[in-house]
Structure 1
């Protein structure tokens, strides 16, 4: 690495471990369709999160759609979603003919507040999509995850956890994020802490929901290799090649978690006291940051400056209701502010301390700090 090497905002890490796993499988002359490697990958995720069941599917948007389907969401139903999230969250229920109802997020966590959700519930509300932004949990001031669980019990509205960014993050009571909802969903797209290129996983402790999810992803049948279908289902299966990569990635997860936390800590120390910079906080005892996220004054000018210095960034999600795909009226001040000021700094697991220091130096230089 030289002082002038370009630093991308994100890059997945695949290497010798993944290659060895794939070659081993190819030497077996397998069918590639999901089988024993997929089952092993599901078991690894279930054991890591503490869930009773894990079902993997082809991507993390489909996983949310299947979670909603399994919980009875259908045409005309309403599903509450945060106005700050990746657009996959509302799109996953829009695909079912349901209506995403957007609620603004809290300024410190970028997560829904239970009382704001309560105000948005109507007789047509079937589910809440709780997104744990960047591995963060609902704040203690908002009642923590327990407030959402209580709201779900009180109203009968299903709680789905969109934990796409939260593998390796836990609630204060020791449960892995994704375990509090009826179903939790993870993503393994390229930028995530582990990746299979594309892929998603669903976790649940319910035998009934697990059975529904397995059938929904595999044509409605109880198992592969049979053409008896007791219910409607689709084809959202995984592949053994993805599972091979996933198994190798899962073995590296215990090393990646502390490194992700250390990356965030070094940024926090390097940017401390810089006027115009607000990194979002993380309790690294529990949270493993997926990306380094923050609000930056003159965000676009900063991004241009960093690009000129060979440093990549990515703007954070714009407010969903203002996206042309939805174009809805309403005021959501926090998500709108993130759309103007939110920036993800380089966050890949391969970052070394010298690169983080170089990035912080350039940010400090931009702000005259």
Structure 2
């Protein structure tokens, strides 16, 4: 398996106990508890849970003041949810290439792409990594050009900046995803964190029909319906209890891959500083990728091609030269990354890769 979520008896018991309470299922006290756990874990003042990670980015941008027609700089290497979240309300994603070392936005290319229409930068912390330029340089760039920094931290729960600040807490808003492949999962789900009281209020109104809270039909502004559910929250609470253990296991798996694949010149693992980063997937540039995938499949081992350049996808079909994104599109491969992999299984994967080359 390349990745699969990990649920246990604790999640099953939590759902059954909730159902015995005859609750309304829509978000309420357990959602509030889940939000509080995320806020406390990350150190954020506010956490707002929503129905998925794409919507969390949409609402983050809207709450930051991005409007239809505004440009937002987005990496050309990312999950397509990042630009799609902007397309949802008519904002314009502007693609910029990423650093080859981290796969995060290249700050020099970002500055060159800023126009009078640019309203925000969406910084994706790829696989829990932060850019080589440093987050402070991005904050300074935003201040210089009067831009908002939106942190797409979908892959970064449990990862930190060098000063100990959780990724997602430096920008105006940070966004997390709890879809099936993430380090914790609620099936679908997302969350936005912020320290700004006004932004938090806008987010809560945007996700709930423009009202300040449920149970009323008084609407202060235009809003929509992107609420969470108590069943998701029951699962999320139990998943959060396991997060710290999973973070350590993610780091240990990476170190085992790194040691085992040392000297295999055809496989270049992306570096992760495990003192700050809990790798989400184990990403690598590999030679003869398609043949390697077939070989691993024959051994019962799943792998997954990394994101292709977004500008080359038919959904966007935009011209441009993005050398790093294109390199990933040709050679990028995610190795098996499930947190439940045993050391013996990892060693089997390593030996199978060595056997191929």
In structure 1, how many angstroms separate the alpha carbons of the residues matched to 2:318 and 2:131? 26
| Alignment match, 1:171 | 161
Partner of 1:5: none
In the alignment, structure 1 residue 159 sits paired with structure 2 residue 149: yes
Counterpart pick for 2:63 among 59, 64, 70:
70
SS of aligned partner of 2:119: strand
SS at match of 2:17: helix
* Equivalent residue in structure 2 for 1:315, among 305, 309, 332: 305
The superposition leaves residues 113-132 of structure 1 with CA deviations (integer Å, 9 ceiling, x where unpaired) of: 22211110000001110000
From 7, 15, 18, the counterpart of 1:25: 18
Counterparts of 1:324-339 in structure 2, within 5 Å, are 324-339=314-329
Q: Residue 275 of structure 1: CA displacement?
A: 1.4
Aligned to 1:361: 351
1:91 lines up with 2:84 in the alignment: yes
SS in 2 for 1:62: helix
List structure 1 runs of 4+ shifted beyond 2 angstroms: none
Q: Structure 1 residue 254: deviation in Å?
A: 1.3
CA deviations 1:301-347 (Å, max 9, x no partner) are 10011001110000000000000000000110000010010000110
* 1:254 partner SS: helix
Secondary structure of the 2:82 match is helix
Deviation at 1:76, TM superposition (A): 1.1
Which 5+ residue runs of structure 2 have no aligned equivalent? none
- Three-state SS of the structure 2 residue aligned to 1:151 is helix
User: Counterpart in 1 of 2:257?
Assistant: 267
Deviation string, structure 1 residues 264-310 (Cα, Å, up to 9, x no partner): 11000110010111000000000000001000011111001100111
CA distance, structure 2, for counterparts of residue 336 and residue 355 of structure 1: 31
Matched, 1:283 2:273: yes
Cα distance between partner residues in 2 of 1:194 and 1:324: 31
- Structure 1: 5+ residue runs without aligned partners? 1-7
Partner of 1:37: 30
Provide the C-alpha distance between the structure 2 equivalents of 1:232 and 1:313, rounded to a whole number of angstroms.
43
Alignment of 1:207 onto 2:166: no
Report the TM-score, using the length of structure 1 for normalisation.
0.96
Partners of 1:181 and 1:300 in 2: CA distance: 38
Residue 346 (structure 1) aligned with residue 336 (structure 2): yes
Cα deviation for residue 27 of structure 1 reads 1.3
How far apart, in 2, do the equivalents of 1:14 and 1:29 lie? 23
SS, match of residue 242 in structure 2 = helix
How far the C-alpha of 1:71 sits from its partner, in A, is 1.3
**Partners in 1 of 2:320 and 2:192 — Cα distance?**
32
Give the TM-score, by structure 2 length: 0.99
* CA distance in 1 between partners of 2:29 and 2:289 (Å): 47
Bigger CA drift: 20-29 or 172-181? 20-29
Q: Confirm whether residue 10 of structure 1 aligns to residue 16 of structure 2.
A: no
**Inter-partner Cα distance in structure 1 for 2:40 and 2:72:** 30
Question: How far, CA to CA, are the matches of 2:219 and 2:171 in structure 1?
Answer: 28
CA distance in 2, matches of 1:84, 1:218: 32
Q: 2:283 aligns with which of 269, 285, 293?
A: 293
1:74 shift after superposition:
1.5
User: Which of 122, 135, 140 does residue 145 from structure 1 map onto?
Assistant: 135
1:195-223 superposed Cα distances (whole Å, 9 cap, x missing partner): 00000000000000000000000000011
Supply the distance in 1 between the matched residues of 2:64 and 2:241 (Cα, whole angstroms): 32
- Local SS of the residue matching 2:333: strand
